[in-house]
């Protein structure tokens, strides 16, 4: 089955267990409960954050969620596995992968809704991706599947042509195809600082208002 890793779906019983995990995550997130949130991870789990990159270990992950819940109080958290379909990695049936969508409701500084914006004409240069620790990790024992995390960075142009240097992190699963390796799943994020830079450059400018000193 070399080269076909990841093509098979998990059996219904396993799928239900994964979906139950998602439900537990929803409840933990909605209850702002770091301990319950982190109980879903292995002891040596890797959690790739948008701000600091990978955090390793259940205890460190719990601290990250504890810090998060100090200022962010999400409600109505929903995590959904795309297609309700976890996929097998390899053939042993001991590792799975899935993509999914999450949503939750929070409040901005003044209770305002959080906008989602889209930007066009992004022309990045100087793209660099560096594997964390130059290390690639085995999934399972057959040696046909790997995972890695990395940091990426690039420079694009802002609305007025100014350079915007942004960065983020990605996580990938590689599978063997003959003598080569290919990417089976790649997921990436962008750091909050980078997003703020982009927001600042591309945000619509407020309409000019008369100076208060000019008022009668």
Given the rule CB under 8 A, which residues bind other proteins? 3, 6-7, 50, 72, 82, 99, 101, 106, 108, 114-131, 134-138, 143, 146, 148, 150, 154, 156, 166, 168, 174-175, 177, 180-190, 192, 194-195, 198-199
Q: Are 69 and 34 in contact (CB under 8 A)?
A: yes
Decide whether 35 or 67 has the Cβ nearer to other proteins.
67
Decide whether 26 or 189 has the Cβ nearer to other proteins.
189
d(CA 201, CA 5): 42
Query: To which H or E segment does residue 149 belong?
Result: strand 145-157
Task: Provide the 3-class DSSP secondary structure of residue 115.
Answer: coil
The least distance separating other proteins from the CB of residue 145, rounded to whole angstroms, comes to 10
For residue 167, what are the CA distances in angstroms to 6, 82, 119? 29, 27, 16
Strands 137-138 and 145-157 come out as antiparallel
Decide whether 25 or 150 has the Cβ nearer to other proteins.
150
d(CA 164, CA 19): 40
The least distance separating other proteins from the CB of residue 27, rounded to whole angstroms, comes to 22
Decide whether 16 or 119 has the Cβ nearer to other proteins.
119
d(CA 171, CA 137): 11
Decide whether 35 or 92 has the Cβ nearer to other proteins.
92
The least distance separating other proteins from the CB of residue 153, rounded to whole angstroms, comes to 10
The least distance separating other proteins from the CB of residue 129, rounded to whole angstroms, comes to 5
The least distance separating other proteins from the CB of residue 164, rounded to whole angstroms, comes to 10
d(CA 171, CA 150): 7
């Amino acid at each position: 089955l070399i080269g076909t890793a990841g093509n098979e779906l998990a059996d219904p019983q396993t799928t239900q267990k994964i979906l139950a995990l998602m439900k537990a995550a929803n409840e933990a997130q909605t209850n702002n409960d770091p301990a319950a949130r982190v109980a879903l991870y292995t002891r040596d789990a890797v959690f790739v954050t948008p701000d600091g990159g990978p955090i390793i270990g259940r205890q460190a992950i719990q601290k990250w969620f504890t810090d998060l819940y100090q200022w962010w109080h999400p409600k109505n958290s929903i995590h959904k596995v795309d297609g309700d379909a976890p996929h097998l990695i390899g053939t042993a049936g001991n590792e799975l992968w899935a993509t999914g969508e999450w949503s939750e409701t929070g409040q901005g500084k003044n209770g305002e809704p959080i906008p989602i914006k889209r930007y066009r004409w992004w022309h990045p240069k100087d793209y660099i991706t560096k594997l964390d620790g130059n290390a690639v990790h085995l999934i399972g024992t057959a040696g046909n599947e790997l995972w890695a995390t990395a940091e990426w960075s690039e420079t694009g142009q802002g609305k007025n042509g100014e350079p915007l240097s942004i960065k983020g992190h990605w996580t990938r699963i590689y599978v063997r195809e003959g003598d080569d390796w290919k990417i089976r799943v790649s997921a990436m994020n962008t750091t909050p600082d980078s997003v703020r830079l982009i927001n600042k450059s591309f945000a619509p400018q407020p309409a000019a208002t008369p100076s208060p000193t000019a008022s009668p």
